[in-house]
Homo-oligomer: A and B are copies of this chain.
């Protein structure tokens, strides 16, 4: 099924910073003969996996793909429950919140809730972040055993720091970052899991550093924690530790 893999490779190209693709982009990025690239994009177009932008030769993901992220959300009880909690916290405090999942060494947001404050962090849904460099990523990595993290980050320079940071997250019950990925932006994150499906998600709030002091931060952690604890109990997530603040 080589076509499928090629098609998946094409779709992966959209991942990082590439808003659209042409035949020659695909040739360059994937090192594929251009006859193949041309036919592949055509077939993907006909299958609604891609569509052209206007009548140019540039391609973007097709309509078929639009609903799949929503289908993913709908397939998971955990995501639905977590969304309720974050949506409420986001509405109360006015900061942007999101739900994210880990995929190897990366995290992706699966749902976001725009804050309402005049100064708020714009959500970055659909953009992959390195798990070890974000609060939401570390809250998810902390759920892995220490060995699993070692295996995942074997040979990685940041492993020592990460190990220490994760044990702190495990002890505290939440992850925190201050101006780490983005200057002026802090984040808090708590993870929960569904033992029946082995999936884990992170509940995260991001906010402008200047607007929230430690007291305000702890208030939001408590709000997330309350909802997360209820979900953990309902689903039987025995690994959940209530945050200590």
Stretch at the interface among A1-9, A210-218, A232-240: A1-9
Taken together as a complex, chains A and B put the C-alpha atoms of A64 and B7 apart, in Å, by 11
Of A14, A90, A101, most B-chain CB atoms within 10 Å: A14
Residues 85 to 126 of chain A near chain B (Cβ within 8 Å): 87, 90-91, 101, 103, 108, 110, 113-114, 116, 125-126
Point out the residues of chain B lying under 8 angstroms from A198, CB to CB.
54-55
Q: Which residue of B lies closest to A60 (CB)?
A: B75
Taken together as a complex, chains A and B put the C-alpha atoms of A199 and B54 apart, in Å, by 7
Contact status B48-A8, CB under 8 Å = yes
Point out the residues of chain B lying under 8 angstroms from A71, CB to CB.
14-15, 18-19, 60-61, 126
State which size class the interface on A falls in.
35 or more
Contact status B66-A197, CB under 8 Å = no
Number of this chain's copies in the assembly equals 2
In the assembled complex, A43 has its CB within 8 A of some CB on chain B: yes
Q: Which residue of B lies closest to A73 (CB)?
A: B126
A179, chain B: closest CB distance, angstroms:
24
Point out the residues of chain B lying under 8 angstroms from A152, CB to CB.
none
Point out the residues of chain B lying under 8 angstroms from A53, CB to CB.
75-76, 197, 199
Taken together as a complex, chains A and B put the C-alpha atoms of A8 and B63 apart, in Å, by 11
Residues 52 to 87 of chain A near chain B (Cβ within 8 Å): 53-56, 60-61, 63-76, 87
Decide yes or no: A128 and B67 within 8 Å by CB, A47-B7, A113-B114 being known contacts: yes
Q: Which residue of B lies closest to A9 (CB)?
A: B47
Point out the residues of chain B lying under 8 angstroms from A197, CB to CB.
53-54, 56
